[in-house]
Structure 1
Amino acid sequence: MKLRIATAAVMIAAFTVPAFAADEFYVVQDVKTKKCTVVDKKPTDTSMTVVSPSGAVYKSRSEAESSMKTVKVCTSN
């Protein structure tokens, strides 16, 4: 019985965790071109840098795009 409950909990978590991860957006800047964009995954390589204030994570793309207009390094280009 405990094994069935544990298995069910693992299966539920496996299906719900990716859904929550899709609701993360970041304002990033390309290191070479200095162009800012909004991405749905935190950059893992050094070609992009998160430039949103305090590394903020946004819940929607439109929220991140609005914030990008206020980021100094993005508006100075």
Structure 2
Amino acid sequence: MSDAQQLVNTMKNILLATVAIVAFSAPSFAAETPKTTGQAPPSFYLAQDTATMKCQIVEAQPVAGGSMKVVGAAHATKASAETALKADKTCK
């Protein structure tokens, strides 16, 4: 083989290697969508104001020691929370 042919073959190999590297690394540069794995599904809580005894439906669990307390368990849907709110006797 001549030196020119050997140089062409070397350049082709370098080009193929570069294309392969770019092809396999390109997906790692793609924008990622927010992941929901491990996150809890949305919950609805009946929260009662300890001063007025009035209840309301909230999506975030009230913090301990605050003026609001959780009544009952968390509900998966807002409709089930509304049903529980109507049935609860402690809420005004």
Is the TM value for this pair above 0.5?
yes
TM-score by length of 2: 0.54
Number of aligned positions between the proteins = 59
Query: In structure 1, how many angstroms separate the alpha carbons of the residues matched to 2:49 and 2:76?
Result: 22
Query: Which of 44, 50, 59 is the matching residue for 1:31?
Result: 50
Equivalent in the alignment of 1:51: 71
Equivalent in the alignment of 1:72: 89
TM-score by length of 1: 0.64
Structure 1 consecutive aligned stretches of length 4 or more whose deviation exceeds 2 Å: none
Unpaired runs of 5+ residues, structure 2, are 1-31
- The answer to whether the aligner puts 1:15 opposite 2:32 as a matched pair is no
Percent identical? 34
User: Over residues 12-53 of structure 1, what are the superposed CA-to-partner deviations in whole Å (9 max), with x where a residue is unaligned?
Assistant: 8x62045x34x101011011121100000110142101112x
SS at match of 1:57: strand
